[in-house]
Amino acid sequence: MTSLAGKTLFVTGASRGIGLAIALRAARDGANVVIAAKSSVANPKLPGTIHTAAAQIEEAGGRALPLKVDIRDEAQVRMAAATAAEHFGGIDIVVNNASAIWLAGVEKTPMKRFDLMQQVNARGTFVTTQACLPFLKQAPNPHVLMLSPPPSLDPRWYAPHVAYTIAKMGMSLCVLGMAPEFAPLGIAVNALWPKTVIATAAIAMLGDSVNADHCRTPDIVADAAHAVLTKPARSFTGRFLIDEDVLREEGIVDFDRYAVAPGNPLLPDLFL
């Protein structure tokens, strides 16, 4: 399978950034995309809403279902999964993309930020996957994809921002457990992480610490996700993948097209 035509993707946090890029790549195949995100009203600091994303997806050739969902709310997630399955006739793919970030040490991390990251990243991933599971069981080539790093116990990734690292590793540990649990059902569970920092609105909010001219665009993650989600689910599961490595295996050797400013040195992403 090389196309996602006719497939239904349930993508969390798809109103902007990497989630939207993955949605648009699928839309170009003619996929159905459920945009499960909180942003229903425009925010000058974070451009993009579920409605602007839906318009872009349909313009790209897909079918869109924008759903206002706070993935911290179990009832909202379950309702969204049921609505999506009824609207499109099932769910083939879940992309757990939604994530909260706060890059600070213990002393400078308010508990509300700690709680937000655990609720969105690890718990949100768990409840979204759980809610979609009955529909994935019925799909012919079902995939679950987490946007999370290879699991690590290296202290250098915990010391600068332990709360965020715990939250992201929580998503990765879901892969570690769900992949073998779902294998008998034929459901693939994998993780994908960028080799370099990706220029998104979330990164822009970090201020001057990251210069976008040393980043890649979300398109590289989207193309890598497409490659993963078109693989046979029964034989391709339980992997922690890096976007550039995935695309190299697909025969891509020119990565300049993904650079915000081709020729500039690139910033390596966290956890690698």
Task: Determine the Cα–Cα distance for residues 257 and 29; give it in Å rounded to an integer.
Answer: 20
Give the containing element (helix H, strand E) for 113: helix 111-117
Per DSSP, the residues of 18-46 read HHHHHHHHHHTTT-EEEEEES--S-BTTB
Query: How far is residue 177's CA from residue 216's CA, in Å, rounded to a whole number?
Result: 31
Strand partners, 63: 32
Q: What is the dihedral of CA 151, 174, 202, 228, to 10 degrees?
A: 90
Q: How far is 229 from 256, CA to CA, in rounded Å? A: 24
Strand arrangement of the beta sheet that strand 32-37 belongs to:
63-68, 32-37, 8-12, 93-96, 143-146, 188-193, 240-242
Collapsing DSSP states into helix, strand and coil, what is residue 142? coil
Q: Is 158 a catalytic residue?
A: no
The gap between the terminal CA atoms of the chain, to the nearest Å, is: 30
d(CA 106, CA 188): 35
CB-count exposure of residue 213 (10 Å: 0-12, 13-18, 19+): middle
Show the tokens assigned to 172.
Answer: 């990765």
Catalytic residue among 164, 182, 193, 258: 164
Which residues are known to be catalytic? 164
